[in-house]
Chains A and B, each alone.
Chain A
Amino acid sequence: MSPFPAADLKLLGDLIQERFGLTFEGVRQEILAARLGPRLRELHLDSPRAYYEYLRFHPQRDAEFARLPALVTNNETYFFRETRQFEILVDHVVPERRAGPGRPLRLLSAGCSSGEEPYSVAIALQNAGHAPGRVWEMDACDLNVERIARAKEGVYEEGSLRACDADARRRYFSQEGARFRLRDRYRAGIRFFQANLLSPGFAVERGAYDAVLCRNLLIYFCDAAFEQAIGLLGRALLPGGYLFLGHSESLFDRTTELAPVVVGGSVVYRKPPA
C-alpha cells in the first residue's frame, strides 16, 4: 500500500493524464507512487501534492515535465519482442503492399522507446532481402527525448538483448565493454523523432503509412486518450494499411474504422481499402 494519500496521487495522476494522456487510476496509483518516490526525495518534497504544485507552478516546471514521462512509464523493451508480428509484417504485409505503386513502403513505430522495436523490424526486413530506402522507410517516435537520443546512438545494455542468442549478438551488434552497438547497416532507413501522440501539435501526415506499430503503449492511456490516439493512427494509415498492437491491447468496444483481420494466424487491425 502506498504511503501517500490517495487524493494526492489522484491529483498528480489527473495532471499527468491531462498533459500526456497517461492514466494511473486504481491499482496503477501504487505504480505511480513507487516510480515517483525517489524523485520526490531528490527534490526534498514530502508529498505527491507538493510535487503536483511543483509541476504546476515552479519556475523549473517545464524541465520537470520534460523528464516526467521517463519517470512514470515503463521503458521495458528489448530486441525481437513479440517477433510473430515482425514475421507477419515481412511475410504478409510487405508482399501485399509492394504489389501497389512503385514506391518504398512507409512504416511508423509509435512509442518506439530507445529504438529496440524499429531496429528489430529493420533487421527482420533486411534478413528477408528488403533493402531500406528502396523497399521501405520507417519513422519512429517516442514521448521521451532521452530515449530518442539513446535510439539514435544505437548502443544497448545486456537487458535489451535478452531475446538474442549468441549468433544474433554477433551478427547484429559489436560489443563495446559491457554494451552492444548495433551495426551500422541495420540503422539505415529509420528516422527518429520526439513526439507526443496526444499533443495538439503532433500531426502525422494523413494517409502516409502502410503499417503502424503501436505496441504496449495504449495500455497507459485513459479512454479519451486511447480514442484520440486510435483516431490519429487510423488517419495516418493509407487505405488498406495495417495497425499492430501489443498482445494485451485490442480495439474491442472502441469506435474506429479499423477492423480486426486475421493475418498469419494473428489478429491485426486494418483500415478499409479505398
Chain B
Amino acid sequence: MKKSFLWAGGQWLFVLLLLASRSIVPVYAQSPSDANFLATLGELRNATFDDKDKIVDRLAQSGHPSVRAVLTAFLEDRLYFRNRDQKIFFVKPGEEGASTLDLIDPLTLKSAGSGSADDFTKILTNNHLRRVLQTTLARFGLSSPDASVRLDAVRDMEKDLDEGNVQLLRERSSVETDSAVKEELATSLALVALNGSEAQTRLSAISILRYSLRQDVLNKLQALLEKSPDGSFVESDEHVRQAAAAAVKSITRRRSVYSGIQTVFFGLSLGSVLVLIAIGLAITFGVMGVINMAHGELMMLGAYATYVVQVAMPGYIGTSLLVAIPVAFVVSALTGILIERTIIRFLYGRPLETLLATFGVSLILQQLVRSIFTALNRSVQEPSWMSGTLQLNEALSITYNRLYIVIFTVLVFAALLVVLKHTRMGLAIRAVSQNRAMAKAMGIRSEWVDAMTFGLGSGIAGIAGVALSQLTNVNPNLGQSYIIDSFLVVVFGGVGNLWGAMVGGMLMGVVDELLEPYSGAVLAKIFVLVALILFIQTRPRGLFPPTGRASESQ
C-alpha cells in the first residue's frame, strides 16, 4: 500500500518534471553548439584540476557567445552545479557565503531563479587553473575599447606566449593606437623574437628590449650570455652577444638607481609611521615632561574607533576612514584628559610614580578593550583607493597605502605646528611649559592648559591609531608593540622638540631600511638600537637639544 503510494508520488514528480522541461523548451531552443557547450561544461563537475585545464581550453575554442561570462564566473569562484540534476549554473557576483544563490543560466545568461546554497556544489579552481583562466580571458580583453583593460590583457597573455597568443598579439599590434599598449606589445613580441633563428631578428629585438626595465627582460637577456654545459655560448652570434651585454648593463644600471629610490621611499614611509606615533608623545613627554606609558593604548583606542566607525557605516569604507580621523581624535583626547584629571595631575614632578601609574592605566585599558571586543583581531578594511600600487615604471612602484601615510603624517605634523604656533591655545601651552609661574601670573589657567595639552597629545595618538589600523592588526596589544619605538624617536630627536621627532623618526626609518637587506630585520633593529644608545651617550639631549630658554617650547 505504502510502496505503491510512493511509486505514484514518484510518477507524479516525473510527470511534473516532464511538463516543466517541456515548458522551458519553447523559451529557448538549443542549437547543436549549445548542446556541445553544455556537455563540455558538464565535464567540469567531476574533473581533476589537470582535466579542468583542458576543458577550459576546449570551451574557449568553442567560440560560444556566453563563454566569456561563464569563464569569468569560473575564475571568480561563482560556478556551481545543482546536486539534484547536475545542472550547471553560475551566480551573480558578491554572493559569497550567502545562504540563497541567485542563479544565472550559463547558456542564455538570464536569471534562472534562486536556490538554497545547500543544494549546490561549487566547481573548484586552484591557482594554476586561475592562471589559465586569466590568460584565456585576456584574449577577450585584447579588443576592449578601454586601453587599461587592453594593457592588462597583454600583460596576462605575456605569461603564456604560445603560438595562439603570439598570433593574437601580432594582430593587435598592427591596429593598436594607444602608446602604452603599443610599447607593451612591442616588448612582448621582441621577447618572442629573441628566440628567432635569424641573428638580425634577434639583434633588432635587443635594440627594442634595451629600453625596457623589466626583470623578465633582463633575465632573458642574461640567459643569452650564459654558456652551455659544453662550454659554447648559448647565443652563437658574437654581435648579438655584445648587444645583449650592453643592454644588460644599461638595464641593470637603471634598475639599481630606481631600487635605491624605492629603498629611500620605504625608509621614509617607515619613518613617517614612527613620526606619527611619536609626535603625540613629543607633546605629552616632550612639552609636559609626563612619561605616559599608556600612550600606545591611546593609539589602540584610535584604531578601535576606526573599526567601530567602519562597522557603523557599512558600505562606505572610504568615507568611514575619513570620519574616523576626528572620531579617533576625540575618543583618545577625552580618554587622555580623563587620565590627566584623575591620575597624572596628582603626580606632576614625580616621574617614577607617573610611569608606574600610567603603566597600570595601560593594562586597564587593554583589558577593558579585551572584555568589550574580545582578544581576537578586528579587521579594518582598506578602502579601494588605498590598496594597490602606483607603478611609476617597471622598476619602481610605490604602494598607495604607504604613500597616503607619508602625506598624512606631513599634514598632521603641519597642523600641529599651526596649532602650537598660531593659536591662543598653542600660545598658552608654550607659555606654561616655559615658565609655569609666570604664565599663571599672566592669568593663564595652568591646570586647564595641562589638561588640554595632554588631550592634544592623546588625540594625536588616536589619529596615529587610525593610520596603524590600515597597516597592522587591530587588537588589544596594538599599543604595546609601538610604545618603545615612540619613546626612542622622542629621545633621539631631542625632548621637547617637534622637529626633532620628525627628523629623528625619518632618519631611523631610512637607516633601518638601508640596513635591512644586508643584515635581516632582526639585526637591523639591534643595530639601530645600539647606534641610538651610543648616540645618546655622546649627546644625551638628542639631535636637537634645547639650547636656550626660548627653544624649550618650539
Q: Do A and B bind each other?
A: no
B binding-site residues for A, Cβ under 8 Å: none
